[in-house]
Amino acid sequence: ETGVTQTPRHLVMGMTNKKSLKCEQHLGHNAMYWYKQSAKKPLELMFVYNFKEQTENNSVPSRFSPECPNSSHLFLHLHTLQPEDSALYLCASSQGYRDSYQETQYFGPGTRLLVL
Amino acid sequence: QKEVEQNSGPLSVPEGAIASLNCTYSDRGSQSFFWYRQYSGKSPELIMFIYSNGDKEDGRFTAQLNKASQYVSLLIRDSQPSDSATYLCAVRMDSSYKLIFGSGTRLLVRP
């Protein structure tokens, strides 16, 4: 266990559904991240939050909507997804000190999403 | 385009051998370098990181960094079948939170 939890672990949804992914970290970190991992592709960074403020949005479609109410919790709200959005969605956290050589990200177990 | 390149493999080694995994990166402003292990269907697990030129050892794992050649490697000594996984190289740029990941090298350790 890395101290980063994600729920649900598996999700099947239709293209018209609305669902949310939840991430919680128990490491006292200040930065949290959403990544997407599709088959045969490198990990793709989606969003970065540091001290609850969004610092990066990597041109992610608006059908993905992140929310970070505090430094310990991160949500990804999903609506009108497409089948090509099926992937493993990973949450990560780090201390949030960008000038530190030891700034290290720790990943949660992921949510396996299937869009039908 | 900042890139991190890894051979996709599979790299097949016999049990007990040394496995050598390699990674090159394109941005000279890269600050820290990470190796993650990912078992099939699981999330990436941090093995170790390095930020100074040279070697860094942790148990059976040694990370090697050569900034002049923009090259980082991971050596696994006494490879075990349980080491069979995909190994992801990740690079963090100076003053950035962002990690750039390679596509990973699949390692297969034969009993």
Are the CB atoms for B87 and B35 separated by under 8 Å? yes
Q: Among B11-20, B33-42, B90-99, which stretch is predicted with the lowest mean pLDDT?
A: B90-99
B56-111 pLDDT per residue, tens: 999 999 999 999 999 999 999 999 999 999 999 999 987 788 899 999 999 999 99
Q: Which of A103 and B55 is assigned the larger pLDDT?
A: B55
pLDDT band at A103 (very low <50, low <70, confident <90, very high): confident
Tokens of A108: 């949660």
Q: Is A114 on the interface with B (CB under 8 A)?
A: no
pLDDT at B58: 96
The reply to whether residue A90 touches residue B88, judged by beta carbons under 8 angstroms, is: no
Shortest CA distance from A34: residue in chain B = B98
Q: Among A43-47, B27-31, B73-77, which stretch is predicted with the lowest mean pLDDT?
A: B27-31
Q: Among A35-44, B17-26, B90-99, which stretch is predicted with the lowest mean pLDDT?
A: B90-99
% of residues, chain A, pLDDT over 70: 100
Q: Which residues touch A40 (CB under 8 Å, ≥6 apart)?
A: B103
The reply to whether residue A42 touches residue B95, judged by beta carbons under 8 angstroms, is: no
Average pLDDT over residues A80-101: 92
Q: Is the pLDDT of residue A1 over 80?
A: no
Q: Is the pLDDT of residue A42 over 90?
A: no
Is the bond preceding residue B10 a cis peptide, omega within 30 degrees? Answer: yes
pLDDT band at A57 (very low <50, low <70, confident <90, very high): confident
Q: Which one of A29, A43, A57 would you mutate to disrupt binding with B, by most B Cβ within 10 Å of its Cβ?
A: A43
pLDDT at B1: 65
Average pLDDT over residues B7-33: 94
Q: Which of A60 and B98 is assigned the larger pLDDT?
A: A60
Are the CB atoms for B83 and B19 separated by under 8 Å? yes
pLDDT band at A64 (very low <50, low <70, confident <90, very high): very high
Q: Which one of A23, A54, A90, A104 would you mutate to disrupt binding with B, by most B Cβ within 10 Å of its Cβ?
A: A104
Give the C-alpha separation, A77 to B56, whole Å. 40
Nearest to B101 among A40, A42, A48 (CB): A42
The reply to whether residue B45 touches residue A55, judged by beta carbons under 8 angstroms, is: no
% of residues, chain A, pLDDT over 90: 77
Place of tokens 């794992």: B61
Nearest to B43 among A94, A103, A110 (CB): A110
Q: Is the pLDDT of residue A69 over 80?
A: yes
Q: Is the pLDDT of residue A36 over 80?
A: yes
Give the C-alpha separation, A25 to A49, whole Å. 13
